[in-house]
Structure 1
Amino acid sequence: MRPTTHTPTPADPEAWNAYLAEGNAAQARKRVAADVLLRDPAGRVLLVNPTYKPGWDLPGGMAEENEPPERTVARELGEELALEVTLRGLLVVDWVAPHGPWDDQIAFIFDGGMVTSAQAAELRPQDAELSEIAFVTQNEARNRLRHRIGRRFDAAMRALDSGRPLYLRDGVPLV
């Protein structure tokens, strides 16, 4: 005869929380990246040149533990550019397959709207993670961005034009 196992219920909060914590510890964790699409009054987009990896990128970065993606963008803009923006919505969610030494991740791009001409002229890297920044045309951005982020950037521009966010799988829209 097999012993009976008892699954805790919410009626026993201590046992229930321990049961849930065990399940939580066994589930996969996702890396989360969050970037922002910022434009100047001429319609150019802001790119940043990170010092810790090759190629240009959109402003943003990796989420810290239990940090919401929109908060990630705000924190990264503050740290790297001393800039505060009000996000205007979500443009892209991209599930990125495992690659190289990395597990999969979920990458977001938010619409940061437009900075003023004065803000654009005064923007400078504020920490050692960025070597330079540039406002560039969409075509220039496509030439500077690496393939993976370039596909995500193109999708963000399409989402901006259509007013509808896009879901991507490895940079490819599913709908």
Structure 2
Amino acid sequence: MTAVHPLTDGELTLRLSRQDQQVVSFDVEHGKPLGTVEVRRTTPGVGLVVWELDGGPEVAQRAVRLVSEFAFAELELERLQVEVDPAIHASARVAIRSGFRREGVLRGAALVEGERRDVAVYGMRVDDPRPDTVTGWTALMDSTLPKKRVIAHVIVRDTTGRVLLCQVSYKNDLELPGGVVEPDEDPAGGASREMHEELGVALPLLGVLAIDWLPRWEGWGDAVEILYDGGVHDPGLLDTLQPDGFEIRGISWHSPDALDGLVSPLNARRLPLILAAPSQLHNLSNGSPITS
């Protein structure tokens, strides 16, 4: 075993107890033995950090920080990983406060006493900002916070009060032009991009007509949807648009009082409301007005 000086933060002490090609393990002491923390090599340049300690989350956090810096500096690993049961919140807090960002959940990846359990994966790269820096801490918090989907659709009207709807290739319901906003894309930019991709033209956006919250539905997570005003146009606008032929197979004008059976129940609820009062901002929840 290569000689390794004890690791310490001034109070906690980690003494090397095992070192081979697969595992580097330390006994943890704070006046008395508290357990072990170790790094298990999984693939080249990558290690899994595992601990079994008494003394609570603070002791585990300090031990994991010490062994992580050792793994990067002395073992020359480029990435470390922690895997915990999502139901064990104390272990998740140890991972986060030790500098590991939440990266996702492996559904049913662990078999515990005959039961399939999820595994939450936390990762840290050697070049990640550490948790005692502002950027490091905010990146850690960002990795744990909810990521809500944002949808941007455009309501385009003609001079007779009809709304422009698209026949899409992936469902029977007619749909508004627009779609999901990409990461780091502002919603208005996403609406314009989707319109250009689908119709060949990005009409000017004149403002926001409605903001709607959508609950979970048929496998989709909940989302926030922004419905933009695409303006009022001559019915001949359709002749200038160029549906992409893949996602959008056709476009047509439809009267707000004739949408039942053509659009989703969500759009059947909200589109007549919005089209009847296009000068106001509609605050909606699942297509219905929010009431105090």
TM-score normalized by the length of structure 1:
0.84
Matches within 5 A, 1:39-58: 39-58=157-176
In the alignment, which residue of structure 2 is the partner of 1:120?
238
- Conserved? CA contact 1:50–1:56, under 8 Å: yes
Q: Could you report, residue by residue, the CA deviation over 1:78-121 in whole angstroms, capped at 9, with x for unpaired residues? A: 01101121111111111111122111101111111023344332
Task: For 1:142 and 1:83, locate their aligned partners in 2 and report how far apart those are by CA, in whole Å.
Answer: 28
Q: Which has the larger radius of gyration?
A: 2
- Conserved? CA contact 1:60–1:73, under 8 Å: yes
Q: Structure 1 residues 96, 117: CA separation in 2 closer, same or farther (over 3 Å shift)?
A: closer
Structure with the bigger RCO (C-alpha within 8 Å, sep 6+) is 1
More strand by share: 2
Task: For 2:214 and 2:161, locate their aligned partners in 1 and report how far apart those are by CA, in whole Å.
Answer: 28
- Conserved? CA contact 2:155–2:164, under 8 Å: yes
Matches within 5 A, 1:13-92: 15-92=133-210
2:285 aligns with one of 147, 157, 169: 169
* 1:155 partner letter: L
Q: Structure 1 residues 111, 26: CA separation in 2 closer, same or farther (over 3 Å shift)?
A: same
1:144 aligns with one of 262, 265, 284: 262
Q: Structure 1 residues 18, 127: CA separation in 2 closer, same or farther (over 3 Å shift)?
A: farther
In the alignment, which residue of structure 1 is the partner of 2:252?
134
Gaps of 5+ in 1: 8-13
1:21 deviation in Å? 0.5
Corresponding residue pairs, total: 168
In the alignment, which residue of structure 1 is the partner of 2:33?
none
RMSD: 2.4
Task: For 1:152 and 1:64, locate their aligned partners in 2 and report how far apart those are by CA, in whole Å.
Answer: 24
- Conserved? CA contact 1:45–1:141, under 8 Å: no
Q: Could you report, residue by residue, the CA deviation over 1:107-141 in whole angstroms, capped at 9, with x for unpaired residues? A: 11111102334433232312400111101211233
Q: Structure 1 residues 41, 121: CA separation in 2 closer, same or farther (over 3 Å shift)?
A: farther
Task: For 2:161 and 2:239, locate their aligned partners in 1 and report how far apart those are by CA, in whole Å.
Answer: 14
Task: For 1:44 and 1:53, locate their aligned partners in 2 and report how far apart those are by CA, in whole Å.
Answer: 22
Task: For 1:123 and 1:141, locate their aligned partners in 2 and report how far apart those are by CA, in whole Å.
Answer: 22
Q: Could you report, residue by residue, the CA deviation over 1:48-90 in whole angstroms, capped at 9, with x for unpaired residues? A: 0110122101111111112221111100110110112111111
- Conserved? CA contact 2:238–2:252, under 8 Å: no
The 4+ residue runs of structure 1 with deviation greater than 6 A are 1-5
More helix by share: 1
TM-score normalized by the length of structure 2:
0.52
- Conserved? CA contact 1:48–1:59, under 8 Å: yes
Gaps of 5+ in 2: 1-54, 62-96, 98-131
